[in-house]
């Protein structure tokens, strides 16, 4: 993290406030400086950088809606939590006992550092801290993935559902024949390139250099006649179903066209954990607040984009994973439509979400309150935007 993050430029142009950062940190220890101020030592999991993190004072004009966890609330000795949890008889008891630890996080655990910048002395000044993994191995934390929290689905007479989609642009490959297309989809449906778990899928992008379109497809789920439970369709059957669909036939017919680039990359989808979902919905809250940082238009939860993000997952007793936290690494993130994600084969085209998150000393001047910590300003197109693209295809 650069020490220039907190520096304010002064030019003839309208001042651009530097975005703050969000990142996961493996805790090394808890200390106090010569002035007696508490701080946390740890390692940024996305960069490997050793950092000292302070929690800057709250200076908002309005009271916080809930008490903020201070550094003293995170302090835990090595083994203080894990030794107790390991001794408990079952998951239900562990879950109940874990709630009592609240923010406490052992060395080796993970804390999410939110709305952070580096001051002139090289210290990280955070606006908020969240315990993501109370001890090593408690949860699965991915410090940097290309993720999108999807539009929340509301149904009549059914609970709302939230999912996160993760793609792997580093595994994107160009295909030039129907045979190569089939092999690439087979690989993605089989989980090759899916580093996070969940349901396997594929993102296929078609581009002629001016217009790009994308198709996202997950491995279908089928219901067992014997148990009434759902499971993923066998990979070979899933591939065959996709290639025999109208969209699959269209892509197969276009893939050999020399005027087009057809690119395939792995995709994964994970549902939100039930406890996390209940936390968003309690007291009349709407679940769609979960995707606020990913919206291409902050007023419309129906269209979200991919951004470099951290992702926190929990393992269920049956071995499945659900997501509990996901957030862009920057509070002014570059957001990508599925059709416009940058890869080695494609320059990409993003929009920039203008953050409502301001560094210490500038928040009050700009008129923003601390309790607006994750709201975004209207999305603004970059000035150097590549060629126009058309709306994406959906299956």
Residue 244 lies inside a defined structural domain of this protein = yes
178 and 119 in a single domain? The answer is no
Residue 259 lies inside a defined structural domain of this protein = yes
Residue 364 lies inside a defined structural domain of this protein = no
Q: Enter the pTM of the model.
A: 0.84
Residue 389 lies inside a defined structural domain of this protein = no
Average pLDDT, the chain: 85
Domain CATH for 31: 2.40.50.140
218 and 261 in a single domain? The answer is yes
Q: In the chain, how many domains are there?
A: 2
Q: How far apart are CA 257 and CA 245, in angstroms?
A: 20
122 and 190 in a single domain? The answer is no
Boundaries of domain holding 126: 1-138
Q: How far apart are CA 3 and CA 127, in angstroms?
A: 16
pLDDT confidence of residue 356 = 37
117 and 216 in a single domain? The answer is no
Q: How far apart are CA 128 and CA 271, in angstroms?
A: 25
Tell me the three state secondary structure of residue 26. Answer: strand
23 and 80 in a single domain? The answer is yes
174 and 133 in a single domain? The answer is no
Q: Could you say which of 234, 267, 300 is where a domain stops?
A: 267
- Taking residues 79-92, report their average pLDDT: 94
Q: Could you say which of 212, 247, 267 is where a domain stops?
A: 267
Residue 307 lies inside a defined structural domain of this protein = no
43 and 112 in a single domain? The answer is yes
99 and 217 in a single domain? The answer is no
Residue 336 lies inside a defined structural domain of this protein = no
| Partners of 149 in the β-ladder | 164
Query: Are 338 and 392 within 8 A, CB to CB?
Result: yes
Q: Could you say which of 215, 238, 267 is where a domain stops?
A: 267
Dihedral sign computed on CA atoms, order 66, 375, 307, 51: negative
Residue 192 makes CB contacts below 8 A (sequence gap 6+) with 171, 266
Of the pLDDT bands very low, low, confident and very high (cuts 50, 70, 90), residue 129 is: very high
175 and 93 in a single domain? The answer is no
Listed in order, strand segments (DSSP E) in 33-80 are 38-44, 50-55
Please write the tens of the pLDDT for every residue from 246-301. Answer: 999 999 999 999 999 999 999 999 999 888 888 877 755 678 888 999 998 888 88
Please write the tens of the pLDDT for every residue from 344-371. Answer: 999 888 877 654 343 333 233 222 233 3
Residue 110 lies inside a defined structural domain of this protein = yes
131 and 4 in a single domain? The answer is yes
Query: Are 123 and 99 within 8 A, CB to CB?
Result: no
Q: What angle do CA 37, 59, 18 make, to 5 degrees?
A: 90
Q: What are the counts of helices (DSSP H) followed by strands (DSSP E) for the chain? A: 8, 23
Q: How far apart are CA 379 and CA 353, in angstroms?
A: 4
Please write the tens of the pLDDT for every residue from 326-345. Answer: 999 999 999 999 999 999 99
11 and 117 in a single domain? The answer is yes
Residue 378 lies inside a defined structural domain of this protein = no
5 and 87 in a single domain? The answer is yes
């Amino acid at each position: 993290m650069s020490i220039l993050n907190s520096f304010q430029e002064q030019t003839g142009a309208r001042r651009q406030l530097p975005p703050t950062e969000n990142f996961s940190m493996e805790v090394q220890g808890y200390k106090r400086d010569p002035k007696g101020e508490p701080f946390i030592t740890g390692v940024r999991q996305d960069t490997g950088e050793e950092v000292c993190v302070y929690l800057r004072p709250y200076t908002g004009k309005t009271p916080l809606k809930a008490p903020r966890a201070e550094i003293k609330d995170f302090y835990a000795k090595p083994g203080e939590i894990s030794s107790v949890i390991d001794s408990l008889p079952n998951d239900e008891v562990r879950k109940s006992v874990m709630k009592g630890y609240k923010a406490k996080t052992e060395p080796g655990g993970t804390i999410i550092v939110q709305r952070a910048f580096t001051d002139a002395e090289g210290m990280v000044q955070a606006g908020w801290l969240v315990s993501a993994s109370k001890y090593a191995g408690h949860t699965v934390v991915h410090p940097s993935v290309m993720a999108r929290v999807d539009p929340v689905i509301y149904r009549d007479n059914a609970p709302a559902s939230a999912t996160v989609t993760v793609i792997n642009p580093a595994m994107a490959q160009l295909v030039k024949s129907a045979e190569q297309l089939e092999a690439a989809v087979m690989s993605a449906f089989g989980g090759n390139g899916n580093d996070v778990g969940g349901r396997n899928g594929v993102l296929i992008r078609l581009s002629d250099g001016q217009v790009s379109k994308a198709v996202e497809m997950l491995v279908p789920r089928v219901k067992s006649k014997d148990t009434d439970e759902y499971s993923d369709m066998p990979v070979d059957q899933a591939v065959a179903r996709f290639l025999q669909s109208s969209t699959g036939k269209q892509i197969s017919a276009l893939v050999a066209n020399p005027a087009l680039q057809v690119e395939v990359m792995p995709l994964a989808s994970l549902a939100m954990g039930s406890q996390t979902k209940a936390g968003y919905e309690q007291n009349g809250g709407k679940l769609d607040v979960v995707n606020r940082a990913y919206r291409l238009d902050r007023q419309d939860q129906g269209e979200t984009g991919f951004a470099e993000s951290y992702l926190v997952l929990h393992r269920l007793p049956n071995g499945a994973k659900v997501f509990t936290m996901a957030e862009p690494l920057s509070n002014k993130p570059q957001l990508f439509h599925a059709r416009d994600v940058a890869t080695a084969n494609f320059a990409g085209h993003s929009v920039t979400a203008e953050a409502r998150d301001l560094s210490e000393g500038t928040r009050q001047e700009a008129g923003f309150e601390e309790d607006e910590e994750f709201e975004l300003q209207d999305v603004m197109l970059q000035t150097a935007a590549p060629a126009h693209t058309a709306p994406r295809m959906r299956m």
